[in-house]
């Protein structure tokens, strides 16, 4: 019986059937293989939960409990939160094969890819097949465990935990076919599911009394390691996110559908004005005070008190004048049409900036415009107006490179968010006629 037939064959039981050890082994092989096949093609592989990493002060690498699945659907279960011991680590070379630490590498910090492997430790040794206790050695139990490996990464290597989007090439968009028979997105999904069952090389290695699957590593983290003369590793730096492949559980997918990973607008400084009438003095005080306009400098700008606050940092490079629009509507005599003008926003000034990102921004305007329209003797604000404010979330990227979810969700317009990246935040208020003081 070949191995492929073995995983698809199961026992049938009937009265007076004689069962052997091979029959019981077949029962286990069938059940385990079917469970792993479902995990392999439906769930996928990667870290499902846990495996939190941290470098301790003494240079040990702390690893939390967790569950991961490898490419064959095998469960990598770690039950303890403890530092990784030397016996749990295998050093690999750049080709992924077991290799000792070379003398020239001792004391030299190097970046490694930390990986987890499914492993089994045989326990309960017995002698089988001979009453004189001199037969073949067997084991009563196989303890499923996890072994970790350190693989050096070549220079210039960029870790990508997830592959790019597949190109099915199915030609799903065909306008000539009636919509009743051409389910365009469904056709692409159908093409993605028509491939064969995945076949992954299964290489077995031994580390002492532990048998582990060398080819089916689950990437966990990038670590900086220096080995001492006793070949004991000391860890100094850790990136536990970049190379990690993640299993999308139902809870995670539900949170992604809700947009929990998206950045939203949590506060705008004029939030209380929405759908109300605002006194001119209140509006006026949001602009910078009048400045000496001699000599006239059309490029001079000032910060207003119109501020935006985000739920997580956004990239300062994407905060531009085009992201915010202030439309001023004033009534015309003929027919009651509204005349529309734009407040000349010149940019968004970032608040505290960390690594090129900020969680707060101030709207900027030209000071000459403020002198004329806010503080001058004659202005378009000399009559009642309506102001519409729009913030384009599609143009603002957060620290993860995703567009800000700016769309209001109903009349309670803050925090913004309808679960999809991008969109436009909108607020509107009436402004009383300008008064000079």
How buried is 160 (Cβ within 10 angstroms: 0-12 exposed, 13-18 middle, 19+ buried)? exposed
Whether the full predicted model's pTM is greater than 0.95, yes or no, is no
Of 369, 364, 347, 379, nearest to 296 (Cα)?
Answer: 369
Q: Which two tokens stand for residue 130?
A: 């001979």
**Phi–psi pair at 136, nearest 5 degrees:** -70, 140
d(CA 256, CA 156): 32
Q: What is the pLDDT of residues 189-243, one digit of tens each?
A: 777 777 787 766 678 888 888 999 988 899 999 999 999 988 899 999 999 988 8
Q: What is the pLDDT of residues 74-124, one digit of tens each?
A: 999 999 999 998 889 999 988 889 999 888 889 899 999 999 999 999 999
Q: Regarding beta strands 424-431 and 277-278, do their DSSP bridges make them parallel or antiparallel, or are they unpaired? A: parallel
What's residue 1's pLDDT? 47
Q: What is the pLDDT of residues 314-356, one digit of tens each?
A: 999 999 999 999 999 987 656 677 888 899 999 999 988 999 9
Residue that has been written with the tokens 């970046």 in this structure: 111
**Would you kindly state where each structural domain of the chain is located, as residue ranges?**
44-157+194-247, 265-431
Q: What is the pLDDT of residues 151-201, one digit of tens each?
A: 987 655 665 667 677 766 655 455 455 555 555 667 777 777 777 877 666
Sign of the four-CA dihedral 165, 171, 172, 174: positive
Q: Which two tokens stand for residue 288?
A: 């910078």
Q: String of b and e for 194-207 (b: at least 16 CB within 10 Å)?
A: eeeeeeeeeeebeb
pLDDT, average across residues 132-154: 84
What's residue 372's pLDDT? 85
What's residue 222's pLDDT? 92
**CB 173 within 8 Å of CB 191:** no
pLDDT category of residue 435 using cuts at 50, 70 and 90: confident
Q: What is the pLDDT of residues 349-376, one digit of tens each?
A: 998 899 999 999 999 998 888 888 888 8
Chain centroid to CA 189: how far?
A: 23
All residues at 6 or more sequence positions from 435 whose CB lies less than 8 Å from its CB, including other chains: 280, 281
Q: Which two tokens stand for residue 21?
A: 């050890």
d(CA 57, CA 60): 7
């Amino acid at each position: 019986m070949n191995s492929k037939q073995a995983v698809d064959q199961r026992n049938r039981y009937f009265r007076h059937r004689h069962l052997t050890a091979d029959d019981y082994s077949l029962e286990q092989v069938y059940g385990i293989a079917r469970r792993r096949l479902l995990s392999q093609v439906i769930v996928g592989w990667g870290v499902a939960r846990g495996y939190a990493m941290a470098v301790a002060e003494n240079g040990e690498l702390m690893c939390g409990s967790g569950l991961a699945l490898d490419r064959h659907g095998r469960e990598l279960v770690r039950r303890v939160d403890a530092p990784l011991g030397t016996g749990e680590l295998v050093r690999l070379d750049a080709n992924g094969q077991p290799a000792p630490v070379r003398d020239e590498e001792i004391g030299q910090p190097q970046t490694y890819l930390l990986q987890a492997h499914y492993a089994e430790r045989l326990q309960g040794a017995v002698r089988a097949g001979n009453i004189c206790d001199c037969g073949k050695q067997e084991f009563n139990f196989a303890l499923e465990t996890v072994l970790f490996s350190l693989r050096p990464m070549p220079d210039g290597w960029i870790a990508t935990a997830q592959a790019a989007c597949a190109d099915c090439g199915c030609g799903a968009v065909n306008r000539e076919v009636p919509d009743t028979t051409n389910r365009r997105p469904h056709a692409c999904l159908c093409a993605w599911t028509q491939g064969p069952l995945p076949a992954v090389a299964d290489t077995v290695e031994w580390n002492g009394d532990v048998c582990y699957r060398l080819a089916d590593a689950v990437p966990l983290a990038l670590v900086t390691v220096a080995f001492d003369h006793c070949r004991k590793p000391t860890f100094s730096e850790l990136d536990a996110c970049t190379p990690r492949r993640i299993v999308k559980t139902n809870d995670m997918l539900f949170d992604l559908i809700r947009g929990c990973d998206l950045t939203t607008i949590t506060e705008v400084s004029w939030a209380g004005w929405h759908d109300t009438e605002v006194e001119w003095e209140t509006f006026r005080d949001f602009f910078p005070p009048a400045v000496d306009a001699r000599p006239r400098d059309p490029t001079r700008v000032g910060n207003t008190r119109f501020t935006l606050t985000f739920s997580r940092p956004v990239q300062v490079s994407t905060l531009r004048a085009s992201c915010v629009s202030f439309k001023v509507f004033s009534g015309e005599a003929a027919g009651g049409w509204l005349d529309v003008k734009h407040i000349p926003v010149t940019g968004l000034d970032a608040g505290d900036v960390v690594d090129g990102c900020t969680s707060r921004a101030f709207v900027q305007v030209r000071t000459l415009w403020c002198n004329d329209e806010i503080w001058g003797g004659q202005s378009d604000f000399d009559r009642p107006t309506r102001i519409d404010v729009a913030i384009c979330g599609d143009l603002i990227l957060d620290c993860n490179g995703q567009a800000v979810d700016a769309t209001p969700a109903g009349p309670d317009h803050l925090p913004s968010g309808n679960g999809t990246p991008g969109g436009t935040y909108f607020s509107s208020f009436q402004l009383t006629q300008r008064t000079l003081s």
